[in-house]
Structure 1
Amino acid sequence: MLTAQAPTLSLLYRGTLSSCNYACGYCPFAKKRDSRATLARDAREVARFTSWVAAQKRDISVLFTPWGEALVRRHYRVAMQTLAALPHVRQVALQTNLSGPLNWLQAVEGLEKIGLWCTYHPDQTTLARFLERCARLDTMGVRYSVGVVAMNEHLDAIRALRAALPAHVYLWLNAYDRRGPGYYREQDLAWLDAADPWFAQSRRPSPSRGKPCLAGEASLSVDGDGELTRCHFVPERLGNLYVDDLADMLQERRCPRFKCDCYIGYAQRKDLPFQAVFGEGVLARIVTVGRISQRRSD
């Protein structure tokens, strides 16, 4: 008798790393440096996590969401390369400012599984340098998305970025100010909404309390010690990745938050179309080809 295969489990990993080589004014981790001891601990945590994933029998997708820049650290590059080569790993995604080395990608077995969630910071690097690195990803066949925090002072840079990026690359925009109306001029808002069909969800998050969500059912957040929560934004502990049986904790849960205003969270909601629109690129915010013009249904 055939048994039903368990659905792909998405693991959103955030370890001890909390340092970044950029100095964005709105970020608490700007130009923060981790000690050697902290980096060594983070490397051990990532290696343990990678070994755990390698030992599993079910399909797994991984998103590294560090408090800082991870690809400048060799242990994250090694982890992504190792995970992508595993037959039961479906996706290996990571958030990055794209400032780190890229040559390692040429040696990745299972390169089609790699997804880079790339953020452009106009006040930290030049457009020419960022585009050159995107072009290298295209040459190597690496799937990626590009995004910007949509600050008013960066709107010209965003326009230039969209004009220069290949048409197939999704440009996502994160709303900078959600405290009330009036931050964006009407004409700028019209362009932003046209540039990113999903910008409205970032700017005006739809109510989430009580909505069905894959977080806790088919997606879990895990820290460096293996402690599990349903997502980054609901701190209730579910168990430990290295100690507890996942079958005992994976179940459908309704969202307890009034609003979910981060893509990492609302992409898992069952009442929103992101799982269908992004498909297997959902963790890296990579839109399925031919679906980039779709708008949210609510």
Structure 2
Amino acid sequence: MALELSILYRGSLSSCNYGCEYCPFAKRTNTAAELATDKAELDRFFNWVEARDPTDKIGILFTPWGEALIHRYYQSAIARLSDLPQVTKVAIQTNLACELDWVKDCNLDTLALWTTFHPTEVSIERFLQQCQQLDLAKVKYSVGIVGLKEHQQSARLLRQELAPDVYLWVNAYKRQPDYYHPEDLDLFTQIDPLFPINNQVYDTFGKPCRTGHQVITVDGAGTMRRCHFIPDSIGNIYDPNFAASLLARNCQNQVCRCHIGYVHLPELNLDRVYGDGILERIPHPESNSHLVSG
């Protein structure tokens, strides 16, 4: 039986060229040896995907702790993955600081980028130039920004300057209770009509979730977990019998706060909103027609 599975891959890379204060990810510089280890992990993962049956349907989202696309070995791996018959989608979370010449080597039917603009780290002009290159190359991508109050003007400008069919999402800032005033909520919802869905903490304990069954996370050693927010291992993809561990499971966490977690809750029906763009955070075109506010 053909395998249908979405994989969120996160190797040992933990270095980033940005230092955003609001970012929860690691802020360090990897040594050459650490980068070599990360590359070896990625090569092994590629080889595993390549060896899968061509009738399998595997979607991949890279969710690195650092910025991966500034490294050529990630660019090359994504380009090669995009051409495999068993890969239905290969996407990556990125700050878009890399050179973009590598996208010409990709299969644009399967490539997609989940990009984020960080106003303290790069000018909006530079970021928009990168987006324009993606438009010219016909690469599918979404753009995001953290919904801090001081980012409101940047969010307005992004919505104004991005192509109308590019989805701009706003990640709600949830570390401070009652952070938003009504006018803040109105503004961010005008920019991103899905913002009210993100601006929630979901009670999830005991509720069905597609993670662990149709969606898993995989680390550099191949360890499988149901999601990034539940540390328990459910197996290893390099075990020939790994698929036996893909079972429907209810959530064991009290709450879910992050898009890459709650988007897989069946009760929210967000698979209908995003369709085959769920990994790269791009709503289905039929949903997207009402998502852009000028």
TM-score bucket (shorter structure):
over 0.9
Aligned to 2:207: 211
Structure 1 pair 157–175 and aligned structure 2 pair: CA distance change class (3 A): same
Residue of structure 2 equivalent to 1:99: 97
Match of 2:63 in 1: 65
Please name the residue that 2:244 is paired with. 248
Q: Compared with structure 1, are the counterparts of its residues 146 and 86 closer, same or farther at alpha carbon in structure 2 (3 Å cutoff)?
A: same
Aligned residue pairs, count: 289
Deviations 1:46-65 (A, max 9, x none): 00000000111111010100
**1:77 alignment partner in structure 2:** 75
CA shift, 1:8, in A, is 2.1
User: RMSD value over aligned CA atoms?
Assistant: 1.6
Distance 2:79 2:92 in 1: 12
Displacement after TM superposition at 1:280 (Å): 1.2
Contact between 2:70 and 2:99, CA under 8 Å: does it hold in 1? Answer: yes
SS in 2 for 1:172: strand
Mean CA deviation greater in 22-31 or 250-259: 22-31
CA distance in 2, matches of 1:163, 1:7: 41
Task: Give 1:279 shift.
Answer: 1.2
The superposition leaves residues 196-237 of structure 1 with CA deviations (integer Å, 9 ceiling, x where unpaired) of 122122221232222211101111110000111111111111
- Measure, in 1, the Cα distance between the counterparts of 2:24 and 2:196: 25
Q: How does 1:189-208 map to 2 (within 5 A)?
A: 189-208=185-204
Q: Distance in 2 between matches of 1:29 and 1:214?
A: 25
Separation (CA, whole Å) in 2 of partners of 1:138 and 1:211: 40
Aligned to 1:175: 172
SS in 2 for 1:25: coil
Unaligned stretches of 5+ residues in structure 1: none
Task: Give the conservation status (yes or no) of the 8 Å contact 2:14–2:27.
Answer: no
Q: 1:151 aligns with which of 148, 153, 157?
A: 148
Q: Sequence identity of aligned pairs in percent?
A: 44
Distance in structure 2 (CA, Å) of the matches to 1:191 and 1:152:
10
- TM-score (normalised: structure 1): 0.93
2:82 touches 2:110 (CA, 8 Å); kept in 1?
yes
Q: In 2, Cα distance between the equivalents of 1:294 and 1:268?
A: 22
Q: Distance in 1 between matches of 2:28 and 2:94?
A: 16
The equivalent of 1:277 in structure 2 is 273
Structure 2: unaligned runs, 5 residues or longer: none
The aligned counterpart of 1:268 is 264
3-state DSSP class of the match of 1:40?
Answer: helix
1:118 to 115, 119, 135: 115
Runs of 4+ in 1 over 3 A off after TM superposition: 28-31
Structure 2 CA distance, aligned partners of 1:179 and 1:256? Answer: 24
Q: Is the 8 A contact 1:175 1:199 kept in 2?
A: yes
Per-residue CA deviation, residues 244-282 of structure 1 (Å, 9 max, x unaligned), is: 513311111111122211111111111112212111111
Q: Aligned with 2:143: secondary structure?
A: strand
- TM-score, structure 2 as length reference: 0.94
- Whole-angstrom CA distance in 2 between matches of 1:7 and 1:276: 21
Distance 1:60 1:29 in 2: 26
- 1:187 has 2:183 as partner: yes
> Residue deviations 1:19-59, cap 9 Å, x none?
00001012255652100000000000000000000111111
Q: Is the Cα–Cα contact under 8 Å of residues 22 and 30 in structure 1 kept in the other structure?
A: no
- For 1:28 and 1:187, locate their aligned partners in 2 and report how far apart those are by CA, in whole Å: 27
Pick aligned residue for 1:162 from 155, 159, 170: 159
* Conservation of the 8 A alpha-carbon contact between 1:145 and 1:284: yes
